[in-house]
Structure formats: C-alpha cells, structure tokens
Amino acid sequence: MGDSQGRAAEGHGSPAAAVFDALGAEYERAFAASAAHRESLERLLAGLAPGSRVLDVGSGTGRPTAQTLADAGHRVLGVDVSPVMTALAARQVPGAEFRCADIRDFPLAEGEFDAVCVYFSLLQLERGEQTDLLERLVRSLRPGGLLVAATVPVDVAGVDAVFMGQPVRVSSFGAEEFTTLVVRAGVAVEWTHSALFTPDHPAGEPEPHFFAHGRRI
C-alpha cells in the first residue's frame, strides 16, 4: 500500500522501536518494485520547476517518494505519524526534512507548496476525514500547483483487515468516486492510472492501486 501516514500509525507509541525499524525496512522492500509508483513520480518530476517545494504526506521510510524528489533538487517536507518511520526516513534521505506529526493537525499555510504527494496515506482515515484533508492539502498548494494522490480503490468504510501481519482498519473509495473527491477539492485532474501490484512479502496479496494527478484550479 505504498508510503503511508495511516499504516505507520500501527507503530505509534510502541516501546518496541527496533521492531518497527525492522518493519519499516521490510515495508520499503515490499513496495520497492512498484512500477506504477515510479511512473507517477516521473510524471510529477516532469511537471516541477527546479527547486520546487513539495509536501510528502505519510512519508514513511522516505523511499521512494522523498528520496526521488530530493535527489532531483526539490525541497521536500515529509510528514508521518510514526516516530520510528520518521527517524528512519531522516537517516535514509538526509536531503529532505521530516516531521513526526498527524497530518490532520499539522499547520498548512495557504499556497505554500508547489506540489503535494499523498501516496496511499489516506487509507486509515475515515471517509469524511479523507475528504476534509484533501481540501486542506489542495489549499496548501499555490494556484496551478500539482497534487498527486494514490489509493487502493475499493468501496469500503471502516473495514478490519490485515496488512503485512498488522491489524488495520481501512476506509476508501472506488476509483471514480475518489477522482470526484479530488475534483471537488479544487483540482483539475489531468491523468489517472490503475494498476495491480503484489507486495514482495510473505503475506503480500495482489491489491489494486489508483493514481490521480492534477493541478489546483
């Protein structure tokens, strides 16, 4: 399920920091081969001016998103709810800045970013929270700024599931409804892509991925 604000929360507050450090690395390996994520990042890079300010929501281990953007010379701020994931990202991607915080409470100024990435980081938020957060994130973009949002496009609300051996509670939208949410938040959608990906993990199962790219109107 890619970089994740929500899933990282599974480790929040746990004293077993070493366990979640290991999970972070395991998590990164499981999704490293996602060609669709890489294609999405390449499309984002192609639309960014040099030295753009980019917010990575649910930055996880910092790879591939923050690292790819930082290596291209962009100024990246990653926000993740897990202190262990945040520390791991800071070690792995020293060219970016990372903050341990819940994005729902994180202060966002109007128009402060040239791009916002939300790769699979909405899934453990309630549907209403996802809608509200998307609107806040779009407002944090400058006019014409780029939004990239990715999700697992299933029509579920508050469903219990297991991800990489961890119990999770998931809410999401189908691809068409998710695209509508992005549009209603104030984005002109320019490209969407659907893919099926199987994480490289013993408990990995094929899961649909959906990517939406657009610009703040």
Note the pLDDT tens digit of each residue in 188-204. Answer: 999 999 999 998 888 78
167, exposed or middle or buried, with CB in 10 Å at 0-12, 13-18, 19+?
A: exposed
Could you tell me if residue 77 is inside a domain?
yes
Asked if omega into 107 is within 30° of 0 (cis), the reply is: no
- Which residue bears the tokens 């998307």? 134
Could you tell me if residue 86 is inside a domain?
yes
- CATH for 74: 3.40.50.150
- pLDDT at site 10: 36
CA 133 to CA 121: how far, in whole Å? 11
CA 27 to CA 10: how far, in whole Å? 13
Could you tell me if residue 172 is inside a domain?
yes
Question: Residue 24: which of 99, 93, 87, 101 has the closest Cα?
Answer: 87
Domain holding 122, by residue range, is: 15-216
Could you tell me if residue 4 is inside a domain?
no
Half-sphere exposure for 133 (CA within 13 Å, toward CB): 23
By mean pLDDT, which of 60-69, 165-174, 177-186 is the weakest? 165-174
**pTM of the predicted model, to two decimals?**
0.89
- pLDDT at site 34: 92
Note the pLDDT tens digit of each residue in 94-129. Answer: 999 999 998 999 999 999 999 999 999 898 889 999
Could you tell me if residue 3 is inside a domain?
no
pLDDT at 16 over 60: no
Could you tell me if residue 168 is inside a domain?
yes
Mean pLDDT of 155-178: 87
